[in-house]
């Protein structure tokens, strides 16, 4: 299968710049190109993080997504897919250039040969020296024409894929070193070349105007990440790490800040243009003091180098290079790496204080370390958010306490007024306002106990004089005089209680129509009316149904022993015996 059959994302219609993907080139096992001191992956990450911060702080309506925020390896295809998946409006890939010179010698036949060296895996590499000649910045958009022999940048940047585990599968057989591959690639052109080129040229002028870069212009080459992104996308080569003077600039905090600011200003202008706005800025970023190019300054001081001669390479390197790394420094690097690893872990576990301490220690070891600074800033932001969350919670708690106290005060007042049901309701509301509070629970329990005691007192048959019962049955029912009095004396009987009244009900009343053996017993001042008299509980149950059918839906069975009301269950027990 040909790599050209890879599926593409549908192109996105852009009407604004709301989502920006920042791609720090290389990372992890892929260092990118190397200078004498710095390597590409660390410089690109530092600039990427600074750029992201500038956007987040100054363009609040823009969301920043990074393809990597740490020193990790990310596949080329994945970098493009991060942008596609997130429906980005702009893709910015940051890289450093290289143009190393190879060390040559004449063999015994007088023929020029490359000096080589073997890596750990036994692979042969050409030996390189730092090359002071090329310097300057250039920005790439997806190319149509790939001129033979002028594809170094595309070939070098695309070669990162060779480090991937399944690169042949992922890239459907694309060979980043083959010229033919680039011809196929150029057949699919991006709909966004024009927009991308507009953005690229804005970047180039910012590099030149403020950051003191030599403008090597906007270039077109078939670079994988540009080819695969379905939105305006650029790849910027911030400068040459192989030029020791430019390397020093790009490796410095100041240089990285200048490069990130330049890309930021270009992005801000591009965004305004796309969104049809005409804003002018007068802020610190806009008014950044313009730099002079340090290579040009150096040449002024060393007229012998004006023609680009390479005679003093060693001197330039020596002048610009930081002291060679000795064993102590190596230990420091190991110590730094260990600190960062641990700090990252602690941050992941949300152990903020621990990770803060570790990043600060790392920063002590490596002055101006962009990564530690970035992480410390992140932690400060998390801490601010946490503090804000706690304040909000405290405010909510205050409101909750106020509501609770008011409800309790009302409930206590209702309790004092003996308005039990209302008091209970208020205590329940208080419990909803502040679940788990003991006081309202306790009060509800007390009220329920009191209510139970009250209803018990109402039903308390002990207060009823059995004589009252017998007497009151007399003459109550005219229909069946034979059953005027309880049928069984000294035994257990069941009756159906159907209503209560504060005064006697006339025997002729419609209320008693259809009922037999009607009588009542007194519970305090209340007369509780019963109907029927049975010795067998099942008969009472049948009669209960009848009474209920007469309209007394709540009719229930009550039991008496020797004319005294007793517990129904107890009565059932005694009847069974």
| Gap between the Cα atoms of 25 and 239, Å rounded | 13
| Gap between the Cα atoms of 252 and 440, Å rounded | 66
The angle subtended at Cα 494 by Cα 451 and Cα 500, nearest 5°, is 45
The label of the residue with tokens 């990118």 reads 32
Closest CA to 11 of 76, 83, 63: 83
Shortest approach of Zn ion to residue 182 CB, angstroms?
Answer: 17
Shortest approach of Zn ion to residue 116 CB, angstroms?
Answer: 23
Residue at shortest CB range from Zn ion? 95
Nearer to Zn ion by Cβ, of 151 and 571: the residue is 151
Nearer to Zn ion by Cβ, of 32 and 532: the residue is 32
Residues that bind Zn ion (CB under 5 A): 25, 32, 95, 157
269-295 burial: b if 16+ Cβ within 10 Å, else e: bbbeebeeeeeeeeeebeebeebebbb
Instruction: Give the number of C-alpha atoms closer than 13 A to the C-alpha of residue 120, restricted to the C-beta side.
Output: 0
Shortest approach of Zn ion to residue 185 CB, angstroms?
Answer: 18
Nearer to Zn ion by Cβ, of 95 and 346: the residue is 95
- Contacts of residue 550, defined as CB under 8 A and 6 or more positions apart, other chains included, come to 513, 514, 515
Nearer to Zn ion by Cβ, of 95 and 561: the residue is 95
Return phi, psi of residue 556, to 5°: -140, 165
| Gap between the Cα atoms of 556 and 344, Å rounded | 73
| Gap between the Cα atoms of 132 and 184, Å rounded | 35
3-class state of residue 230 by DSSP: coil
The label of the residue with tokens 């610009």 reads 320
411-439 burial: b if 16+ Cβ within 10 Å, else e: beebbeeeebeebbbbbbbbbebbeeeee
Per DSSP, what are the bridge partners of residue 228? Answer: none
Nearer to Zn ion by Cβ, of 27 and 132: the residue is 27
> Cβ distance 472 to 517 under 8 Å?
no
Cα dihedral angle (301, 304, 308, 309), rounded to 10 degrees?
-140
Nearer to Zn ion by Cβ, of 32 and 232: the residue is 32
Closest CA to 374 of 386, 384, 362, 385: 362
Shortest approach of Zn ion to residue 38 CB, angstroms?
Answer: 13
The Cα diameter of the chain in Å comes to: 148
Nearer to Zn ion by Cβ, of 256 and 355: the residue is 256
Shortest approach of Zn ion to residue 366 CB, angstroms?
Answer: 23
Shortest approach of Zn ion to residue 223 CB, angstroms?
Answer: 10
Nearer to Zn ion by Cβ, of 17 and 76: the residue is 76
Shortest approach of Zn ion to residue 396 CB, angstroms?
Answer: 51
Shortest approach of Zn ion to residue 194 CB, angstroms?
Answer: 25
Nearer to Zn ion by Cβ, of 95 and 373: the residue is 95
Shortest approach of Zn ion to residue 71 CB, angstroms?
Answer: 15
Shortest approach of Zn ion to residue 400 CB, angstroms?
Answer: 57
Q: Tell me how crowded residue 342 is: count the other CB atoms within 10 A of its CB.
A: 17
> Cβ distance 484 to 477 under 8 Å?
yes
Instruction: Give the number of C-alpha atoms closer than 13 A to the C-alpha of residue 117, restricted to the C-beta side.
Output: 7
Structure tokens at 543: 């009669």
Shortest approach of Zn ion to residue 25 CB, angstroms?
Answer: 4
| Gap between the Cα atoms of 43 and 241, Å rounded | 9
Nearer to Zn ion by Cβ, of 36 and 96: the residue is 96
Nearer to Zn ion by Cβ, of 125 and 479: the residue is 125
Nearer to Zn ion by Cβ, of 27 and 32: the residue is 32
| Gap between the Cα atoms of 491 and 494, Å rounded | 10
- The residue ranges of DSSP E strands in 376-509, in sequence order, are 492-501
Which burial class, exposed, middle or buried, applies to 572 when counting CB atoms under 10 A from its CB (0-12, 13-18, 19+)?
Answer: middle
Q: Tell me how crowded residue 192 is: count the other CB atoms within 10 A of its CB.
A: 24
Shortest approach of Zn ion to residue 162 CB, angstroms?
Answer: 13
Run of H or E residues at 341: helix 327-348
Nearer to Zn ion by Cβ, of 69 and 425: the residue is 69
| Gap between the Cα atoms of 482 and 489, Å rounded | 15
Nearer to Zn ion by Cβ, of 25 and 176: the residue is 25
Shortest approach of Zn ion to residue 388 CB, angstroms?
Answer: 40
Nearer to Zn ion by Cβ, of 233 and 355: the residue is 233
Structure tokens at 103: 């060390």
Shortest approach of Zn ion to residue 41 CB, angstroms?
Answer: 8
> Cβ distance 359 to 372 under 8 Å?
yes
Shortest approach of Zn ion to residue 33 CB, angstroms?
Answer: 6
């Amino acid at each position: 299968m040909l790599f050209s059959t890879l599926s593409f994302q549908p192109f996105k219609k852009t009407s604004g710049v709301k989502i920006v993907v920042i791609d720090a080139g290389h990372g992890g096992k892929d260092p990118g190109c190397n200078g004498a001191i710095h390597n590409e992956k660390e410089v690109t990450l530092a600039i990427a993080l600074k750029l992201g911060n500038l956007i987040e702080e100054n363009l609040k309506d823009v969301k920043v997504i990074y393809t990597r925020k740490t020193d990790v390896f990310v596949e080329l295809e994945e970098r493009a897919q991060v942008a596609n998946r997130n429906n980005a409006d702009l893709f910015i890939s940051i890289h450093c250039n290289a143009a190393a010179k190879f060390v040559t010698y004449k063999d015994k036949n007088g023929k020029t040969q490359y000096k080589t060296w073997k890596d750990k895996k036994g692979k042969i590499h050409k030996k390189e020296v730092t090359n002071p000649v090329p310097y300057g910045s250039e920005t790439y958009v997806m190319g149509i024409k790939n001129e033979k022999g002028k594809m170094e940048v595309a070939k070098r940047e695309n070669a990162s894929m060779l480090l991937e585990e399944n690169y042949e599968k992922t890239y459907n057989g694309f060979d980043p070193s083959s010229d033919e591959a680039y011809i196929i690639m150029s057949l699919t052109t991006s709909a966004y070349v024009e927009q991308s080129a507009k953005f690229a040229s804005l970047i180039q002028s910012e590099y030149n105007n403020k950051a003191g870069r030599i403008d090597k212009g906007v270039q077109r080459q078939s670079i994988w990440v540009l080819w695969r992104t379905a939105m305006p996308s650029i790849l910027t080569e911030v400068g040459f790490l192989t030029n020791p003077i430019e390397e020093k600039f790009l490796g410095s905090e100041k240089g990285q800040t200048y490069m990130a600011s330049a890309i930021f200003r270009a992005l801000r202008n591009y965004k305004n243009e796309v969104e049809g706005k005409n804003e002018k800025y007068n802020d610190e970023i806009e008014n950044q003091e313009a730099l002079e190019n340090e290579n040009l300054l150096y040449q002024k001081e060393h007229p012998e180098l004006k023609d680009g001669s390479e005679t003093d390479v060693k001197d330039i390197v020596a002048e610009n290079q930081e002291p060679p790394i000795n064993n102590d420094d190596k230990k420091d690097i190991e110590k730094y790496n260990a600190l960062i690893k641990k700090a990252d872990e602690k941050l992941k576990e949300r152990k903020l204080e621990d990770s803060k301490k570790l990043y600060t220690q790392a920063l002590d070891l490596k002055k101006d370390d962009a990564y530690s600074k970035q992480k410390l800033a992140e932690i400060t932001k998390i801490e601010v958010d946490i503090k804000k969350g706690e304040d909000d919670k405290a405010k909510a708690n205050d409101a909750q306490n106020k509501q609770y106290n008011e409800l309790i005060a009302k409930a206590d007042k209702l309790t004092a007024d003996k308005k039990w049901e209302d008091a209970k309701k208020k205590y329940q509301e208080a419990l909803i306002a502040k679940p788990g509070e003991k006081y309202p629970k306790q009060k509800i329990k007390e009220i329920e106990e009191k209510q139970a005691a009250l209803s018990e007192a109402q039903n308390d048959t002990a207060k009823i004089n059995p004589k009252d019962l017998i007497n009151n049955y007399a003459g109550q029912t005219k229909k069946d005089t034979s059953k005027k009095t309880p049928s069984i004396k000294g035994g257990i009987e069941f009756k159906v209680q159907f209503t209560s009244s504060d005064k006697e009900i006339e025997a002729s009343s419609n209320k008693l129509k259809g009922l037999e053996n009607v009588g009542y017993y007194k519970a305090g001042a209340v007369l509780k009316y019963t109907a029927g008299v049975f010795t067998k509980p099942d008969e009472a149950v049948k009669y209960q149904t009848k009474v209920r059918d007469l309209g007394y839906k709540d009719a229930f069975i009550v039991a008496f022993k020797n004319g005294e009301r007793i517990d129904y269950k107890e009565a059932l027990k005694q009847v069974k015996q």
